């Protein structure tokens, strides 16, 4: 008999958890996300019919909605309990619409329920407060979905026609791609500027040393570029060395540092990237599991609140729990006088109503470590620490600045220091930054210095520096920039970054985004011909308009009309552009990327055709994409792939000069260090080969540019393998090295490949320990775990790991888990599919067995006869030659 109440959620994991809370009067079923979508073809959104939208249920979704309809029979109430954001509201709306179309809702009361955390109290409380579907959120979803469709299906054909090789364009993804490409153009255009600093080591009357820098010369305050060359630096150094110094001024200032707010979606992705080296997609996948529920001592409970949010608000219950925990664990000094209230920066923080936090702060990381491990535990600990730290007392720092003047007062040095007087929240959590600037003074303690006291100059040196280009975006810094500009929303950040990589418009190298030439061509095209629609301001303004729709302030179809009227005209006009117009525009835009510039910024010298000498190299387009060609075609048929001018397989330029190339002398041995080219690629070598002595050699790392390789980098390569320290648990030595299969870590006798995002030359002991731990867990996640019973016989399906990798087992049937899939992520449904597929394959093989055996036997006989015939023919020929 059917339960009187049917509850629909997105995932089986969520359904399993909630089902335990509600009892036998409720049946909980999973929709597996959206059950309908716009079919990927023309006409799914029709502007001519006031943007009517045609929805399609694919074969997989049909099975899901069929199951929902089947289990709804006999029920009196339907509860749509999908996620508490706009996307969750849309999923519920689609389910209701499709069930209504099938006439499956006759006599059924339909309710919408939302909860921010999957705990028993939260779920039961939500079931007591049902509401209707939110029309404004649904309309905001429809507007976004229609816009994304219209941009994609109207613009992509223009791209394919005018820019061969381009894949597609998206409303928000293309703007994110523009950020990455424009940053790369900034780096290419960057010209380093030289500057010098004068650094001194001083001592007080007791002889205690401290560092200082020159800040004033000839009575004038120095800025960063005041000493722009060696001559000016030498003169400044002489002036410093000539002085006798006294303490002119001592400034003491106490400052407070406040904790960061609890996590939003974007700040969670940023910190997980910085601290845990997780990509945005991995972070959200793990957070989803923590939200949906984990078995804690026989009870399935969600460990964190909903993870797609732009709110920094904590509930009153969470604030009370945080304050009680701080008082219990850290004492009254670490507890502020009242709870900290954070103001949400987002203009329309309606995606969810609370920050990402643990559902129970008293569920400490060390307690849940018995039930979750590896990356899930690390992410939970990060969320737990950030939430608790956000409610702790501020840190107090003592900052000291001391001016040291010579007798004339014309030359002045400055020493600075900062000491943590009270650590406050820093005892638990310290927020990372993407691109740290100059060295911090924190922790640098100055000796006792009083005004008028003498300070002795021990040594001084002039140090040369060069300005650095802006850093490439990491996942963390790109998400942060998108949020600052108002581009995208919490639920879209991870998918935007994934799409750009899937389309091969960008690649991640050492955790930084580098645009591919294909991505730069698309960006140049859109920036040239669709400037308004892919500008940062327009995209942000459109996002605000869509947020206004979700607030019920604007009609969603009016937003579509305003956008479509002008956008469709631009698409038509661009389609009419001649190939020459497109080619010349993009050539002008990307010339500095494909051709080297001289000191005046001109690319003409690099554009001279190497084949005919009087032709000009230009960007051209063919059937399969862009390439470089000579202007004298067809008389000169010189062409070059666009990648060979600026990129090879490793993303570096063409190798210039002759080999071996001397880089300098090893300061320890006095031997020459050189760059050489061998049959297996480029390598560095120290010294020369002598009888009985083989010189040290090390290959260049993948992506390392031989044209800019210097002595210091070569020495670091030759120092491999290098000792990092001892493992804190095993006590075994950890080394970082480079082998035939690439960079590795060695832990005792065990070798672990180094992840692509890590640098073998700079990796430290803490990160190495984390990599070793991750490698130990990979392939073993959940090994031995029982996933559930097979519906055919009720026997258990188990997860295992063997010599050929992870597998699922049912009786005597073993099915390998596909490569790339995480064993710990495999669900019962997926396991059943793998087992059934393997069983069917086995059955087919058994059935075909006798026929195959007969065919094999016949084939063997035929082969034997053929070999015998050939042997006789050979013998006959040999006999003939002998007779001759």
Q: Which run of H or E residues covers position 665?
A: strand 661-665
Q: Where are the beta strands (DSSP E) in 503-616?
A: 506-509, 512-515
3-state DSSP helix/strand/coil % of the chain, to nearest 5: 40, 20, 40
Phi, psi (rounded to 5 degrees) for 640? -150, 135
CA distance 475 to 519: 17
> Does 306 qualify as catalytic in the annotation?
yes
- The tokens for 103 are 């006439």
- The tokens for 629 are 């060609």
> Residue 617: helix, strand or coil by DSSP?
strand
CA distance 765 to 768: 5
> Residue 341: helix, strand or coil by DSSP?
coil
Q: How far is CA 733 from CA 694, 698, 717, in A?
A: 26, 22, 20
Alpha carbons within 13 angstroms on the beta-carbon side of residue 299 total 8
3-state secondary structure 388-413: HHCCCCCEEEEEEEEEEEECCCCCEE
Q: Which run of H or E residues covers position 110?
A: strand 109-112
- The tokens for 824 are 């710990």
Strand partners, 5: 26, 77
CA distance 288 to 24: 26
Pairing of strands 77-80, 5-9: parallel
Q: Do 545 and 555 touch, CB atoms closer than 8 A?
A: no
Pairing of strands 412-422, 395-406: antiparallel
> Residue 748: helix, strand or coil by DSSP?
coil
Nearest CA-CA partner of 8 in 112, 129, 131, 97:
112
Nearest CA-CA partner of 778 in 821, 827, 724, 729:
821
Q: Which run of H or E residues covers position 837?
A: helix 828-847
C-alpha dihedral, 220 to 226 to 231 to 235, nearest 10°:
20
Phi, psi (rounded to 5 degrees) for 739? -120, -170
Q: What is the DSSP letter of 533?
A: T
Q: Which residues of 8-28 are buried (b: 16+ CB within 10 A; e: fewer)?
A: bbbbbbbbbbbbebbeeebbb
3-state secondary structure 850-871: HHHHHHHHHHHHHHHHHHHHHH
Q: What does the DSSP assignment read for 428-454?
A: T-----SS--SPP-BT-PPPP--TT-E
Phi, psi (rounded to 5 degrees) for 619? -75, 135
Q: Which of 21, 195, 306, 473 is catalytic?
A: 306
Nearest CA-CA partner of 429 in 302, 261, 265, 312:
261
Q: Which run of H or E residues covers position 640?
A: strand 639-641
3-state secondary structure 764-827: CHHHHHHHHHHHHHCCCCCCCCEEEECCCCCCEEEEEEECCEEEEEECCEEEECCCCCCHHHCC
Q: Do 78 and 111 touch, CB atoms closer than 8 A?
A: yes
Spell out the alpha helix ranges (H) of 468-555.
Answer: 475-485, 493-502, 517-529, 536-550
Which residues form the catalytic set?
A: 306
């Amino acid at each position: 008999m059917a339960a009187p109440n049917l509850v629909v959620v997105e995932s089986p994991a969520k359904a399993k958890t909630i089902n335990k809370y509600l009892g036998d009067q409720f049946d909980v079923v999973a929709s597996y996300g959206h059950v309908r979508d716009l079919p990927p073809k023309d006409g799914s959104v029709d502007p001519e019919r006031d943007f009517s939208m045609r929805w399609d249920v694919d074969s997989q979704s049909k099975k899901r909605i069929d199951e929902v309809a089947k289990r709804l029979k006999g029920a009196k109430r339907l509860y749509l309990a999908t996620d508490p954001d706009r996307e969750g509201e849309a999923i519920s709306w689609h389910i209701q619409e499709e069930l209504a179309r099938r006439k499956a809702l006759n006599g059924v009361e339909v309710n919408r329920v939302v909860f921010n955390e999957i705990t028993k109290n939260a779920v039961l409380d939500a079931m007591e407060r049902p509401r209707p579907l939110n029309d404004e959120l649904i309309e905001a979803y429809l507007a976004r979905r229609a816009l994304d469709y219209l941009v994609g299906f109207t613009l992509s054909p223009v791209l394919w026609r005018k820019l061969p090789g381009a894949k597609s364009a998206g409303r928000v993804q293309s703007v994110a791609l523009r950020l990455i490409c424009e940053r790369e153009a900034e780096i290419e255009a960057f010209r380093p500027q030289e500057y010098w600093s004068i650094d001194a080591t001083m001592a007080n009357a007791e002889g205690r040393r401290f560092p200082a820098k020159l800040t004033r010369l000839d009575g004038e305050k120095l800025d960063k570029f005041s000493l722009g060359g060696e001559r000016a630096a030498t003169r400044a150094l002489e002036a410093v060395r000539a002085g006798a110094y006294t303490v002119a001024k001592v400034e003491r200032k106490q400052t407070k540092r406040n904790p960061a707010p609890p996590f939003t979606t974007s700040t969670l992705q940023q910190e997980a990237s910085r601290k845990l080296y997780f990509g945005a997609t991995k972070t959200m996948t793990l957070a989803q599991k923590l939200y949906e529920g984990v078995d804690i001592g026989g009870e399935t409970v969600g460990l964190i609140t909903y993870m797609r949010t732009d709110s920094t608000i904590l509930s009153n219950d969470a604030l009370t729990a945080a304050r009680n925990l701080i008082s219990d664990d850290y004492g009254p000094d670490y507890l502020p006088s009242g709870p900290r209230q954070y103001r949400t920066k987002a203009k329309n923080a309606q995606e969810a109503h609370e920050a990402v936090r643990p559902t129970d702060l008293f569920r400490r990381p060390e307690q849940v470590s018995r039930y979750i491990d590896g990356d899930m535990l690390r992410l939970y600990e990060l969320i737990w620490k950030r939430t608790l730290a956000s409610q702790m007392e501020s840190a107090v720092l003592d900052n000291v600045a001391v001016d040291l003047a010579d007798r004339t007062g014309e030359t002045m040095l400055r020493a600075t220091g900062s000491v943590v007087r009270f650590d406050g929240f820093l005892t638990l959590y310290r927020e990372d930054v993407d691109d740290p600037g100059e060295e911090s003074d924190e922790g640098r303690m100055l000796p006792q210095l009083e005004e008028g006291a003498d300070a002795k100059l021990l040594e001084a040196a002039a140090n040369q520096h060069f300005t650095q280009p802006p850093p490439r975006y990491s996942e963390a810094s790109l998400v942060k920039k998108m949020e600052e500009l108002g581009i995208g929303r919490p639920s879209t950040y991870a998918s935007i970054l994934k799409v750009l990589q899937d389309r091969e418009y960008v690649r991640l190298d050492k955790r930084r985004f580098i645009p591919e030439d294909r991505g730069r061509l698309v960006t140049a095209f859109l920036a040239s011909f669709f400037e308004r629609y892919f500008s940062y301001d327009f995209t942000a303004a459109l996002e605000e308009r869509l947020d206004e729709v979700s607030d019920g302030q604007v009609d969603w179809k009016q937003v579509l009309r305003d956008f479509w009227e002008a956008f469709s005209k631009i698409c038509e006009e661009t389609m009419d552009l001649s190939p020459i117009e497109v080619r010349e525009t993009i050539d002008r835009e990307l010339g500095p990327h494909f051709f080297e510039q001289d000191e005046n910024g001109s690319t003409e010298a690099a554009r001279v055709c190497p084949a005919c000498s009087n032709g000009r190299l230009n960007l051209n387009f063919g059937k399969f994409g862009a390439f470089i060609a000579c202007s004298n075609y067809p008389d000169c048929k010189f062409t070059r792939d666009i990648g060979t001018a600026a990129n090879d397989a490793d993303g570096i330029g063409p190798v210039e000069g002759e080999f071996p190339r001397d880089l300098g002398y090893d300061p320890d041995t006095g031997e020459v260090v050189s760059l050489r080219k061998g049959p297996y690629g480029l390598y560095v070598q120290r010294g020369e080969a002598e009888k009985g002595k083989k010189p040290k050699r090390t290959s260049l790392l993948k992506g390392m540019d031989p044209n800019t390789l210097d002595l210091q980098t070569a020495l670091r390569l030759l120092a491999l393998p290098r000792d990092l320290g001892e493992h804190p648990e095993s006590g075994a030595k950890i080394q970082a090295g480079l082998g035939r299969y690439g960079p590795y870590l060695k832990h005792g006798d065990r070798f672990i490949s180094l992840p692509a995002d890590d640098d073998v030359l700079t990796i430290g002991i803490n990160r190495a320990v984390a990599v070793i731990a991750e490698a130990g867990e990979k392939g073993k996640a959940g090994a031995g775990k029982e996933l559930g019973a097979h519906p055919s016989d009720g026997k258990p399906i188990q997860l295992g790991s063997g010599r050929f990798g992870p597998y699922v087992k049912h009786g005597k049937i073993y099915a390998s888990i596909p490569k790339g899939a995480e064993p710990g992520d495999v669900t019962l449904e997926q396991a059943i599919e793998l087992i059934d597929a393997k069983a069917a394959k086995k059955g087919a093989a058994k059935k075909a067995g006798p026929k195959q055996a007969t065919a094999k036997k016949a084939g063997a006989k035929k082969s034997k006869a053929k070999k015998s015939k050939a042997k006789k023919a050979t013998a006959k020929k040999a006999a003939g030659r002998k007779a001759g």
